[in-house]
Amino acid sequence: MLLLLLSLVAAALYLVLQHYRAKMRPLVEKAEKIPGPQTQPLFGNALKFGTSTKQFFDYMMWLTGTHGPIARVWVGPVLAVLLADPKYIEIILGSNKIIDKAILYKFGEPWLGKGMLTNSGLTWKRHRKIIMPAFHVKILDKFVHIFNANSAILLDRLAKHVGGPGFDVYPYMNLVTLDVICESAMGVKINAQLDSSSDYVNSVQILGDAMFRRAFMPWLHLDSIFALSSLGRMQKKCLTVLHGMTKKVIKSRKEQILNSETGEQETDLHDIGAKQKYAFLDLMIQAVRDGATLTDQELQEEVDTIMLAGHDTTTSALSFSCWCLAENPDVQEKVVSELREIFGDSNRDATLRDLQEMKYLEQVIKETLRLFPSVPVFGRFVTEDLPMGDYVLPAGCNVGFNPYMLHRNPEYFPEPEKFDPDRFLPENCLGRHPYCYIPFSAGPRNCLGLKFAMLEMKAILSALLRRYRLLQSNPPHQLDLTVVLVLESLTGVVLRLDSRGSQPVSS
């Protein structure tokens, strides 16, 4: 009887496996024609990803370096194709149809829900249309005072390092950008720079790491198993803190704005000349007041998305910008000369117009993002067969984009390892493939916060350089790159500070 039962179970498993293989055959046959490493049964190439973020990053770079600008890899039964050629990337990023995110983005949904980063389809389009006016440059003018105030706190915190040994600038940038995005997104001052041990600050820093690690641990992909893991329990605790804060702020601001009979009602989201200083949340609530359809849950998801997208990415870019400036003192002095032309001997805060005039500093930031793209790998999902040169990306394939390797293509950026901001002079950009440089993605799903991020980075870096000189560490620091949602260095981003002998920039 037992033998018969085992035989029936074995037969059932065999039939299921055969059905699965038949279903997967078209995907596998098309994938086999794409260059890529050998696979192992069941695991594919998953074991090669290693168990650390460093091993994952190195493997992704090895994959492109070894197999070329279109390379396939299997994570168990999941097919992914990594692209690092602009002609391939344009086919997908330039499409209005291929806008679904790769399936690994689903691990961000416990925090972000169906916000702009994870959503697609008609809901994504509707939300983007509602939110886009909040990123108009004249609305962004209202946030410059937030950049300046938090930059002043940063400068005071860095003063203890003047004339001292090398130190890691990354934690400082992490906290200042968290202060900026909390105040800009929710209108709430969390004072992360002054109290870095708060539950909210710790939860933000822990959760991003937990999300990324889960994505590349196939045994934690099932929600039921993940919930029982230490990583799952930690995520749940962090989500309680973060969602609790967002819900509380939404309730408070919604009551103030929707119930107010004066003040706010005089300002429309599309009234670009408005004088009031609002957070992004306020602007979305005003859109609801004016007829837009956004539930409280959707408001929370979009605010949480802005929090994530506007924090770690800017932290990474600012930290590596500081490192590049310290490593290239001639470039740093050109930036300082530009700042002197704008500010003279004044210690006044930067205005929007000042930030817009920082053309060379913008080139520096762009060149930093070429060498150190904040998001070195991101992805889409293909729902139907897609011809791509000599290959076909099969329906059901996840597509990854590799800006880190793309930005180092000598065809578009000669001497690619050289730090040269003049690559981004207007005349030097003419004729360059529009998809060879994608630090903020590109096409219909490009980053809405691009202008906000650039203004924020200019404000912080200009304040920093007006007071301090950034110096190479002694001995010279060696970066050890990895990716934890964004590009980081396992050895930190170490540099030294010296005073420029000027009076402090006022807050």
Q: Are 428 and 437 in contact (CB under 8 A)?
A: no
Q: How far apart are the first and last CA of the chain?
A: 83
Identify the CA nearest to 270 among candidates 145, 135, 156. 135
DSSP 133-172: GGG-HHHHGGGHHHHHHHHHHHHHHHGGGBTS--EE-HHH
Q: Are 140 and 452 in contact (CB under 8 A)?
A: yes
Residue 391 CB-half CA count within 13 A: 24
d(CA 154, CA 323): 17
List, in sequence order, the alpha helices (H) in 216-261: 223-228, 230-259
Q: Are 71 and 60 in contact (CB under 8 A)?
A: no
d(CA 274, CA 270): 9
Identify the CA nearest to 364 among candidates 321, 328, 406, 427. 321
> What is the token pair recorded at 284?
């979305």
Q: Is 324 annotated as a binding residue?
A: no
Q: Are 228 and 183 in contact (CB under 8 A)?
A: no
Assign 1 to helix, strand or coil.
coil
| DSSP code for 70 | E
List, in sequence order, the alpha helices (H) in 310-358: 312-327, 329-343, 352-357
Annotated binding site for heme, which residues?
447
Annotated binding site: 447
